[in-house]
Every structure is written in C-alpha cells, then in structure tokens.
Amino acid sequence: MNPSPVVQLIGAPTDIGAGDRGASMGPEALRVAGIDRALRAQGLTVIDTGNLVGPHNPWQPPVQGYRHLPEVIAWNTAVHQAVGDALRADALPILLGGDHSLAIGSLSAVAQHCRAQGRKLRVLWLDAHADFNTHTVTPTGNIHGMPVACLCGNGPLELTALGGPAPQLQPSCIRQIGIRSVDPEEKRLVHQAGLDVFDMRYIDEYGMRDAMRRALDGVDGDTHLHVSFDVDFLDPDIAPGVGTTVAGGPTYREAQLCMEMIADTGLLASLDVVELNPAFDVRNRTAEVAVDLIESLFGKSTLMRK
C-alpha cells in the first residue's frame, strides 16, 4: 500500500515532558523553515491543521517519579485523537512537536490503526536517547525520556492504554538508530525488553547503510512504516537547536543516507518531528536542516547514478 499523497501537519506546541523550555516553539520554527513548501515540492498535497491546544507547562518537580503527568496525559490524548483522525481520513500525519513524550499519543494512534487494518507496523526511532526510562529509574522524572517504555506497556495506565489494552507496541517492531546516551538502569531495561538498537558504535563500525538495511529488513507492502525523528538524533554541530544535545551523532551525510533509504521503501506512512528547540538554535538553522532531511524522507534524492 503506497503512502497517501495527502499530508496533514499537526502542531503540538508544548514542552510539557521536557527538561528545558522552548520545544513548544518547534512547530512554528518548522513552518518558518518552509516544511509545507518542501513537501509540496515533492508532489504532496499539504493540509496544515494548525496547532492542538492543551494545558500550559506548570514547571513543577516530579510527583512519584513523573513530572507533569496530568498535563502529559492531556496533550497525548489530543495528539492521539488528531493522528487517528488523519489516518482515518487516509492522510499521512506529520506531528510537529513539541517534546518526544508526544510520541505516546502519536504511536498509540498508529498502532491502533494498524490493528484495525490488520497491517504490520515498523517503527524507526531516530534519537540520541533510548527513551526507555520508567518512573522508578528516571533521574529527572521528565516523561520525554519514557515514551518507548510507555508504548511497550511500562508506565501509567492513562498512557500505556491510550490506544487500547497495553502494550501499544511490541519491542520487536521497533528499531532504534543513532543512540548514544542511555542511563545505566535504562540500559538494563532496554536489554531486558530485547529492543533492536543500532547505536553510534554500530554505525561507526558498520556504517549507516548497513544499519538502515538491517533496520528496514522485512518491511513490505503490508507494512506501515512510522518514523519518530527526534532532532537530537543529529550531531549538535549541524543541529544545535535541541535541549538535550549529545556529541557524536550522525553527520549530515549519514542523516541524508538514513532518510533516503527510508524514502526508497516507498512505505513511510506517519512521522513525528520532535524536540526542536528554537531557544537553543542559531538563526533557525536546526529547523532548516530538519526540513531538508524531511524533504529527503519524502523522496528528494542526491543520487545521480541510474
């Protein structure tokens, strides 16, 4: 099944799950960088549905291991509904975040849709972090470090069961790429869950081509391919505009190859773009790099050979 030529942009302007303020400005920065224009250049019909509305960030300390849990639930419930509506309308939803806790709402809607359609799901988690913390091991309580754990059933019921009985995702459908910052107890949980992780050591040793070939192995015409793109996946030399920079990430060319190999499948069916923080950026440079890579994700290619 080919992805829809109709794309819906869904803004979620909140930093409710993050440790720094500013990701709430991410959706507008992506719009300023011309995400709609870039997608139209790839022959897509783009519908910008505007921004979702949710509670403000109260900036409070954690309660029982979670910061801002009621507000995170409210935002993810809104995201879940909006992404689900887009999928039911046969559109390809692009969630413009906002912090990465919003992927709980996005992916729970995608997983629910795949179950209803009887389709396989493959999730590519492009990130510097594994995001597999729980309230018992988190050093901060920030829920943007917990979305994969929540989607795999380890978290509060209001989040783990957002799209139906938990878990929303089986670890076997997730491939994590670019990981290079994992807390010690979080690493234990990742190994326990059996996640497939192509960390930067793997990419250094075998290259991005091999990592992506393996991450995409088994996808076919019956697969819904979801990309959750945390901008801190990129090396901070090319993408300084995030709150959680980690040195040693993919270069511009490695990131381009990653996106082009995903595009080559023709199976991309939903996308998160999260953690862009203009407060840390330089003249919107990170948003422009992100839009450039998103354009490649939808088919723009540097390939010259036939």
By annotation, the residues acting in catalysis are 100, 127, 129, 131, 144, 230, 232, 275
Q: Which string of DSSP letters, residue by residue, matches the chain?
A: -PPPSEEEEEEE---TTSSSTTGGGHHHHHHHTTHHHHHHTTT-EEEEEEE-----------BTTBSSHHHHHHHHHHHHHHHHHHHHTT-EEEEEES-GGGHHHHHHHHHHHHHHHT-EEEEEEE-SB-----TTT-SS--GGG-HHHHHTT-S-HHHHTTTSSSPSS-GGGEEEES--B--HHHHHHHHHHT-EEE-HHHHHHHHHHHHHHHHTTT--TTEEEEEEEEGGGS-TTT---SSS--SS---HHHHHHHHHHHHHHT-EEEEEEE---GGG-STTHHHHHHHHHHHHHTT-------
Distance in angstroms (rounded) separating the CA atoms of residues 82 and 108 = 11
- Interhelix angle 252-265/200-215, rounded to 10 degrees, is 20
Q: Judge whether 56 and 82 are in contact, CB under 8 Å.
A: no
**Structure-block tokens of residue 79:** 């995201």
Distance in angstroms (rounded) separating the CA atoms of residues 288 and 302 = 17
In angstroms, the first-to-last Cα distance of the chain is: 25
The CB density around residue 41, as the number of other CB atoms within 10 Å, is 13
